[in-house]
A = this chain, B = another copy of it.
Amino acid sequence: MHTVCFNADLCVMTKFSALISGKWKPILLYLVQHGINRFNLMHGYMPTISKKVLTEQLRELEADGLLRREELKVKAPKVVVYHLTEKGASLRKLIDEIISWCMEHMKDEIPQDLLAIFRQSPPAFVHAQ
C-alpha cells in the first residue's frame, strides 16, 4: 500500500522550467550575456516582442534573481542597464549542456545551418536570422 504521491508545485524540475520557460527568456539571457543589455537595444534585436511583454519577462528574470536592473542616474531620457547576477551567469554552463543534448537528440527540428554553426563552435544558444 503506497502513500507516496507527487505534487507538481514542489517538483524541482518544475521550478527550473519556470525559470527559463517564458517565451523570450532564453533569448533575453543570451542577449544580456553578450552585452546587449538596454531596453530599447534588446527590443531592436527582437522586434516582434511587445514592450509590455519585454518588461514582464525582464521583471520576472529579475524577481528570479537571474538579472539585476540598474537605473543609471543620468537626468533624462532615463537609461536602464541589465546585468546577469552570479546566479544568472552560473546558468550558462548548464544551458550549454542542454544545447548540446538538443543538438544530438533533436536534430530533426533544428535548422541545418544552426547545426553547422554549432559544430564549428559549440554553444550556439539561439538562432540568428
Interface, chain A (partner B; CB < 8 A): 2, 4-8, 10-17, 20-21, 23-24, 26-27, 30-31, 44-48, 87, 90-91, 94-95, 97-99, 101-106, 109-111, 114, 124-129
Q: How many copies does the complex hold?
A: 2
Neighbouring B residues of A47 by C-beta, 8 Å: 5
Are A14's CB and B2's CB within 8 A?
Answer: no
Neighbouring B residues of A126 by C-beta, 8 Å: 6, 10-13
Are B97's CB and A94's CB within 8 A?
Answer: yes
Neighbouring B residues of A7 by C-beta, 8 Å: 48, 127, 129
**Which of A6, A16, A126: most chain B CB closer than 10 A?**
A6
